Amino acid sequence: MPKRVRSYLRFAAVLVAALAALPALAADAAPPSNDAFASPIVVPQALPYTNTQDASESSLEPLEPQNCNLTSHSVWYSFTPAQDGTLKITTLGSTYDTTVAAYSGA
């Protein structure tokens, strides 16, 4: 076998081995800080606000509100407006299906 082909095969084997290890690494990732509904990210009153995070390790808690037909993951945010008005929330750009629900109260 030519040297060039052997090098390519060796590189491909190393790449496949490295890619095979990725799911194991992802499983060890920590959930986001706002995974629990008792510890939401507090959105500042100075808008606009943007947040980008990996929610793949988030979870559902027992007794968590499930008005969005949640099945496996949730992250939580809290916003207290200074005055009445309209708030636009978008998940545009997410690489997975998203659902948004708004709750009032403490």
Closest CA to 98 of 71, 65, 62: 71
Q: How many domains does the chain have?
A: 2
> What is d(CA 36, CA 32) in angstroms, rounded to the nearest whole number?
9
Confidence of residue 3 (pLDDT cuts 50, 70, 90): very low
Pair (17, 62) in one structural domain: no
Phi/psi at 50 (5° precision): -130, 140
> What is d(CA 38, CA 34) in angstroms, rounded to the nearest whole number?
8
Pair (3, 50) in one structural domain: no
Cα-based distances in Å from 67 to 12, 85, 100: 47, 23, 10
> What is d(CA 37, CA 58) in angstroms, rounded to the nearest whole number?
11
- The domain in which residue 25 lies consists of 1-29
11-25, 64-78, 84-98: which range is least confident on average? 11-25
Pair (40, 64) in one structural domain: yes
Query: What's the pLDDT tens digit per position in 33-86?
Result: 999 989 999 999 989 999 998 888 998 888 887 766 666 788 999 999 988 889
> What is d(CA 34, CA 51) in angstroms, rounded to the nearest whole number?
12
Q: What is the dihedral of CA 22, 96, 46, 35, to 10 degrees?
A: -60
Pair (35, 19) in one structural domain: no
